Amino acid sequence: MDWNTVLLLLDSTIRTATPLLLACLAGLFSERAGIFDIGLEGKMLVSAFLAAGFAYVTGSVWLGLLAGIAGSLLLSAIHGAASITFRGNQLISGVAINFLASGLTVVVSQSWFGEGGRTPQLGDGGRFGEVVLPGAIRLSEMTIREQRELPLLTRFYSDVLSGHSILTYIALLAVPLSWWVLYRTRFGLRLRAVGENPAAVDTAGISVRRLRYSAVAIAGVLCAIAGAQLSTAEPAAGFIRDMTAGRGYIALAALIFAKWRPWPALGACMLFGFFQALETRPDIFVRLFDLRVPSALLSAMPYILTVIILAGFVGRAIPPRAGGEPYVKER
């Protein structure tokens, strides 16, 4: 196995991990505040559709992203209303959001574009292009031989780190930002407290509802960026039905794997992204171990690892204590 293959795999890992990471951080904020969110998938889907639809109609990918955020926030508001204001079951509300998104996107897209639940393919202005980091070399303009002669670090920087969409860099920056917000600000302390012991937060005179609503809203924005990445960031170019294909659930698995912490979330998403990247290269196993690994095994890896973690083999995963329980003030 040569370095080129390794670099390609890592490049693909970062691209695949981006939507997972954003959705995982979304789940992190929501669940740390005590609101379980099965609806990550649905919010990503709605945002993917609106981002692609508006980017096509307006020709501006940023307006598309805004539309995606608006749609995702609306679903967050529904989830919030159901589970915070009306104290409903958070899991049921989340599942309902997934169904709603899966159906609505197809119906609306069919009535807008008449292409069977798809948006038209986006042209060059309608999607997030590749960002070339300062100092990076455009490898696509060089021959393979010239590329091989470059120092490894240069290739790593130019090939793996550079050349992703702006949304990927937003996702990577969101990790330290989330850590800072959760662990170094008053808002973050209260947010974590409200997921552990809302009664104590309430006694201190802080609104549990407002904190939980803001957590759910942050989750909405992050999910929206994840969805926009799927439909409008190169190499993607448009929406098709159910295109999230289970990424919201893998993000939830990553969240448990990371034990509800931001930096481990980055690690978990990169690991799961790496499995997905490996899935595209079954030849590597054949060359290295002379072994045919079924790709289904690799796609199941995130779930297998999560079960192992949950079973307590690698430390224990303890969810926020007040997670899933509506807060009743007068008890």
Residues that bind another protein (CB under 8 A): 4-5, 8, 12, 15-16, 19, 103, 106, 110, 114-118, 121, 230, 234-238, 240-243, 245-246, 276-277, 280-283, 295-296, 299
Of 15 and 190, the one with the shorter C-beta distance to another protein is 15
Beta strands in 13-92 (DSSP E): none
The Cα–Cα gap between 22 and 16 comes to: 11
| Rounded Cα distance, 79 and 102, in Å | 16
- Least Cβ distance, residue 243 to another protein (angstroms): 6
If the CB atoms of residues 71 and 273 are measured against another protein, the closer one turns out to be: 273
B/e letters for 274-298, b = 16+ CB within 10 Å, e = fewer, are bbbbbbebeeeeeeeeeeeeeeeeb
28/240 with CB nearer another protein: 240
Q: Minimal distance in Å, beta carbon 230 to another protein?
A: 6
- Closest contact distance (angstroms) between CB of 207 and another protein is 39
Is the Cβ–Cβ distance between 122 and 56 less than 8 Å? yes
Q: Kindly state the smallest distance separating residue 69's Cβ from another protein, in Å.
A: 20
In the bound complex, what is the minimum distance in angstroms from residue 296's beta carbon to another protein?
5
71-108 burial, b at 16+ Cβ within 10 Å, e below that, comes to bbbebbebbbebbbeeeeebeebbebbbebbbebbbee
Name which of 146 and 283 has its Cβ closer to another protein. 283
| Cα distance from N-terminal residue to C-terminal residue, the chain | 63
Q: Among residues 23 and 73, whose Cβ is nearest to another protein? A: 23
